[in-house]
Amino acid sequence: MARVIVDVMPKPEILDPQGKAVTGALKRLGFDGLTVRQGKRFEVDVEGDLTDERLDQVREAAEKLLANTVIEAFDVRVEQ
Residues that bind its own copies (CB under 8 A): 7-9, 19, 22, 25-26, 29, 31-48, 57-58, 60-61, 64-66
Nearest-angstrom CA–CA distance, 8 and 61: 12
Shortest Cβ distance from residue 21 to its own copies (Å)? Answer: 10
Q: Taking the CA of residue 63 as centre, how many other CA atoms within 13 Å lie in the half-sphere pointing to its CB?
A: 6
Q: 4 - beta bridge partners? A: 44, 78
Shortest Cβ distance from residue 71 to its own copies (Å)? Answer: 15
Nearer to its own copies, 15 or 64 (CB): 64
